[in-house]
C-alpha cells in the first residue's frame, strides 16, 4: 500500500488554487453529466476525487479505504514526474479503465434490477 505523502506538485499557493479550480470545474461537469446523458458525469467526479486526493492527504486516505479507488490513486502516484507523452498515455489508459469499470458497474446494476423485477412479477 502506498503512503500518503503530500504531492510536491501542490507545494505553492498558485498550484493549490489551480487544483481547486480543476476540482470545482470537474465537479460541476460531473453534476451536469449526471443529469445530461451526453456528459460522462462519473468520469468528471472521479477526476475531481483524484485531484482532491492529491491535494488533501486526509481525503486521499479516506478514498484509499475503497479497493477500486485505491487502485486508481496508486496508478496516479508519480504522475507529475512523467514526460508529457507518458502523461497523455497514462491519462488515456486511466480513462479507458474508468470507462470499462463504469460500463461493468452499469451492466451489473441492470442485471440486478432485471432479476429484482423478475422476482417481483412472480
Q: One digit per residue, pLDDT tens: the chain, 122 residues? A: 444 444 445 667 887 888 888 888 888 888 888 887 776 777 788 888 888 888 888 888 888 888 877 877 777 777 777 788 887 887 788 778 877 877 887 888 888 888 888 888 77
Residue 87 lies in a domain: yes
For position 53, what pLDDT does the model report?
83
Residue 93 lies in a domain: yes
Number of compact structural domains in the chain: 1
Is 0.85 topped by the overall pTM?
no
Domain carrying residue 72: 8-121
Residue 1 lies in a domain: no
Residue 3 lies in a domain: no
Residue 2 lies in a domain: no
Residue 25 lies in a domain: yes
Q: Three-state secondary structure along the chain? A: CCCCCCCHHHCCHHHHHHHHHHHHHHHHHHHHHHHCCCCCHHHHHHHHHHHHHHHCHHHHHHHCCCHHHHHHHHHHCCHHHCCHHHHHHHHHHHHHHHHHHHHHHHHHHHHHHHHHHHHHHC
For position 59, what pLDDT does the model report?
86
Amino acid at each position: 500500500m502506498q503512503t500518503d505523502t503530500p504531492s510536491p506538485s501542490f507545494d505553492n499557493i498558485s498550484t493549490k488554487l489551480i487544483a481547486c479550480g480543476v476540482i470545482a470545474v470537474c465537479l460541476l461537469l460531473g453534476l451536469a453529466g449526471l443529469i445530461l446523458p451526453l456528459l460522462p458525469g462519473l468520469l468528471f467526479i472521479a477526476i475531481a476525487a483524484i485531484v482532491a486526493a492529491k491535494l488533501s492527504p486526509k481525503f486521499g486516505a479516506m478514498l484509499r479505504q475503497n479497493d477500486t479507488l485505491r487502485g486508481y490513486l496508486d496508478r496516479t502516484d508519480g504522475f507529475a514526474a512523467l514526460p508529457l507523452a507518458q502523461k497523455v498515455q497514462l491519462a488515456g489508459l486511466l480513462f479507458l479503465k474508468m470507462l470499462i469499470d463504469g460500463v461493468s458497474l452499469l451492466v451489473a446494476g441492470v442485471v440486478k434490477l432485471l432479476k429484482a423485477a423478475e422476482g417481483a412479477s412472480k
